[in-house]
Chains A and B, each alone.
Chain A
């Protein structure tokens, strides 16, 4: 038995050290410590890797802005498990004394991290998780976000639906933060303009048994359908919608994640799907073309939205250090500098709102020949209402 225990201990120790790969650039003086808390395994692994790659590319490109400071990365795998978040965040805060913490992808993990890091000296930058609370009731001077709030991609779509002449919309998503908040944001602008939500269906996460709901939609016969699904669920929903013959009859709209990273798997079934998002891969902005080529040269494949958001987190850090001429010991100064930044993002320039969420354009995209083609700017410089934030 003791042998087994030793073995188990050894295995545990290896996994712990494996999870903590410090690509330290040993240096004299104080390095800038950047804790990276992203999922590198599990269903969101791809998103975590993309975010980290974007982050590292930004700091590499902007090396001269660091005023000679070395950068030390401490990478921790969240596995997209909220239960691991407080422990990992605490180790970055207390043990590693990180100056910046980048993470996470998953909104549940974000809650655990914020609980630990809120009001502390470490600057937290969220490169994905869209939970409204992070820049709402739980907002904090040291918490920034370079991605989006769940409200942002969906709110403009209500207006888009009205402009297209849709009066009755069927709304469907998963019953969790991002899903509920997306449908609510759509409903807010859609009903304010006189539209009617004929049915609002919230399914348990991560159920993907959609066929019966698609039949229900066919029976209800609304003017359009609005939805939030992502990843495997997005693929399944779009395919079921097409398979049951609804594509081309009842327009399908959604928050942009419905067609992000899923188009190849969705194939023809995604043609004509309209979504709102703060980015599109083919966005015609010089910075975007530049970034895409640089990323491809560095990693051998083109970046996605998660890489853009990680890249902008890196840009925020580099520009802040630059403006402070390398001295980041005064955290108040770091926060007030970062607040005033204008980030030259591949998605177009953005600034931070009072609650530290990006004020950014939301683009209306439509899938044509397997690409999210930008149709128009659905909302210009859209600011999240940051309900419940007292900053």
Chain B
């Protein structure tokens, strides 16, 4: 591999890793704060992608409806937390797994009923459809650079909120001692609703951003969910910093694996995960 190709692939890997972070961040946030293992997280990614596809198909405008889709996802998150998840805080993980697996089936069926089973694609918005010269032969699409920037911006915003704001302080306090936070008079119920809804929205936003780069197909949520879990387990369950580092590692490693040993590329990230867990059983940044 030439040096040039090495850097090209490194950029590809980082770009993929940033998107993985965006998807995984919601999962790890919800688990870290609320102790809820949301297996339907991938379905939220799917919902985001399908929503934006649907709006673009009928209106042709991406930007406005990307924001609208994110807002709808936020509402959906509040609804799911209030109606379903709230009943599970005092139950064990198995019950949570059962409920959220059930939600996967419900969302997949809804997708099939509402939008059918054809594979779809979303065109890259006009303003971002250009590309910049890259190597002799190829160019780099502006949209993919933009997508990476959005991921970095959201990562920075998440970091800021969690470490610098009052909401973040409550989130961190809730993580370490829920009873104490409640005893201090904080309404933990609405805090949980907010956190869960943000988690859902993050998944949907990743789906929205990924939509023009990926194909929108039934089952897209599950395939992303598994990679997402690898990221979160490597980084340490519940750690946002861990998810960031884990996502970039998985992105870069799987990109190089795909080029160097294509037939085994799917296995490499799992082998990497095993190695990490052998050295750090709780993940890289476990609390």
Residue ranges of A at the interface with B (Cβ–Cβ < 8 Å) = 41-46, 175, 201-204, 206-209, 211-216, 218-219, 221, 231-236, 239-240, 243-246, 249-250, 261-262, 264-268
Chain B 136-161 against A: per-residue CB contact (8 Å), 1 yes, 0 no? 11111101100000000000000000
9-residue interface stretch from B7-15, B67-75, B80-88, B199-207: B7-15
Q: Across the interface, name the chain A residue whose C-beta is closest to B143.
A: A243
From B5, B124, B262, A201 is in contact (CB under 8 Å) with B262
Q: How far apart are the CA atoms of A245 and B141 in the complex, in Å?
A: 8
Q: Tell me, yes or no, whether B218 is within 8 Å of chain A by CB.
A: yes
A245: which B residues are within 8 A, CB to CB?
131, 134, 137-141
A265 touches B138 (CB 8 A): no
B118 touches A209 (CB 8 A): no
B5: which A residues are within 8 A, CB to CB?
215-216, 219
9 contacts between A and B (CB under 8 A): A46-B118, A204-B264, A212-B255, A235-B119, A235-B121, A239-B213, A245-B131, A245-B137, A261-B119
A262 touches B119 (CB 8 A): yes
Q: How far apart are the CA atoms of A43 and B221 in the complex, in Å?
A: 13
B259 touches A213 (CB 8 A): yes
| A-B pairs, 6 with minimum CB distance | A265-B121, A245-B139, A232-B217, A235-B215, A218-B138, A232-B215
Q: Tell me, yes or no, whether B54 is within 8 Å of chain A by CB.
A: no
B187: which A residues are within 8 A, CB to CB?
none
A232 touches B137 (CB 8 A): no
Q: Tell me, yes or no, whether B254 is within 8 Å of chain A by CB.
A: yes
From B121, B140, B141, B258, A212 is in contact (CB under 8 Å) with B258
Q: What's the count of A-B pairs with C-beta under 8 Å? A: 136
Q: How far apart are the CA atoms of A319 and B235 in the complex, in Å?
A: 63
Q: Tell me, yes or no, whether B93 is within 8 Å of chain A by CB.
A: no
A218 touches B137 (CB 8 A): yes
From B2, B112, B258, A213 is in contact (CB under 8 Å) with B258
Q: How far apart are the CA atoms of A203 and B267 in the complex, in Å?
A: 11
Known: A236-B214, A243-B141, A244-B141. A41 touches B9 (CB 8 A): no
A214 touches B263 (CB 8 A): no
A216: which B residues are within 8 A, CB to CB?
5, 9, 259
From A42, A201, A203, A246, B137 is in contact (CB under 8 Å) with A246
Q: Tell me, yes or no, whether B220 is within 8 Å of chain A by CB.
A: yes
A221 touches B137 (CB 8 A): yes
B214: which A residues are within 8 A, CB to CB?
208, 236
Residue of B140, B258, B265 with most partner-chain A CB within 10 A: B258
A215 touches B118 (CB 8 A): no
B2: which A residues are within 8 A, CB to CB?
219
B114 to chain A, nearest CB (A): 14
B18 to chain A, nearest CB (A): 13
Q: Tell me, yes or no, whether B173 is within 8 Å of chain A by CB.
A: no
From B12, B119, B263, A211 is in contact (CB under 8 Å) with B12
B121 touches A203 (CB 8 A): no
B266 touches A250 (CB 8 A): no
Those of B182-200 within 8 Å (CB) of chain A: none
A233 touches B137 (CB 8 A): no
Q: How far apart are the CA atoms of A231 and B12 in the complex, in Å?
A: 23
Known: A212-B258, A218-B138, A235-B119. A43 touches B219 (CB 8 A): yes
Q: Tell me, yes or no, whether B92 is within 8 Å of chain A by CB.
A: no
A236 touches B138 (CB 8 A): no
- List 14 extra interface pairs beyond A211-B12, A211-B16, A265-B121, CB under 8 A: A43-B217, A43-B218, A201-B262, A203-B262, A215-B9, A218-B136, A221-B136, A231-B215, A244-B134, A250-B137, A261-B118, A265-B118, A265-B120, A268-B123
B215: which A residues are within 8 A, CB to CB?
208, 231-236, 239, 265
A45 touches B144 (CB 8 A): no
B119 touches A232 (CB 8 A): yes
Q: How far apart are the CA atoms of A213 and B219 in the complex, in Å?
A: 23
Q: Across the interface, name the chain B residue whose C-beta is closest to A204.
A: B266
A267: which B residues are within 8 A, CB to CB?
121, 123
A220 to chain B, nearest CB (A): 9
A239: which B residues are within 8 A, CB to CB?
121, 213, 215
Q: How far apart are the CA atoms of A217 and B139 in the complex, in Å?
A: 13
From A206, A215, A233, B8 is in contact (CB under 8 Å) with A215
Q: Across the interface, name the chain B residue whose C-beta is closest to A45.
A: B117
Q: How far apart are the CA atoms of A266 and B213 in the complex, in Å?
A: 11
Known: A46-B118, A235-B121, A265-B120. A215 touches B217 (CB 8 A): no
A231 touches B217 (CB 8 A): yes
Q: How far apart are the CA atoms of A338 and B259 in the complex, in Å?
A: 48
B254 to chain A, nearest CB (A): 7
B254 touches A46 (CB 8 A): no
Q: Across the interface, name the chain A residue whose C-beta is closest to B251.
A: A209
Known: A208-B214, A266-B121. A215 touches B143 (CB 8 A): no
A186 to chain B, nearest CB (A): 18
A219 touches B117 (CB 8 A): no
Q: Tell me, yes or no, whether B116 is within 8 Å of chain A by CB.
A: yes
Q: Across the interface, name the chain A residue whose C-beta is closest to B116.
A: A46
A149 to chain B, nearest CB (A): 24
B137 touches A219 (CB 8 A): yes
Residue of B118, B215, B217 with most partner-chain A CB within 10 A: B215
Q: How far apart are the CA atoms of A218 and B11 in the complex, in Å?
A: 15
A202 touches B263 (CB 8 A): yes
Q: How far apart are the CA atoms of A201 and B117 in the complex, in Å?
A: 29
B124 to chain A, nearest CB (A): 8
A211: which B residues are within 8 A, CB to CB?
12, 15-16, 255
Known: A46-B118, A219-B4, A219-B135. A212 touches B12 (CB 8 A): yes
Q: How far apart are the CA atoms of A268 and B129 in the complex, in Å?
A: 12
B220: which A residues are within 8 A, CB to CB?
232
A233: which B residues are within 8 A, CB to CB?
215
Q: Across the interface, name the chain A residue whose C-beta is closest to B256.
A: A212
B53 to chain A, nearest CB (A): 9
Q: How far apart are the CA atoms of A244 and B264 in the complex, in Å?
A: 24
Q: How far apart are the CA atoms of A240 and B220 in the complex, in Å?
A: 17
A218 touches B135 (CB 8 A): yes
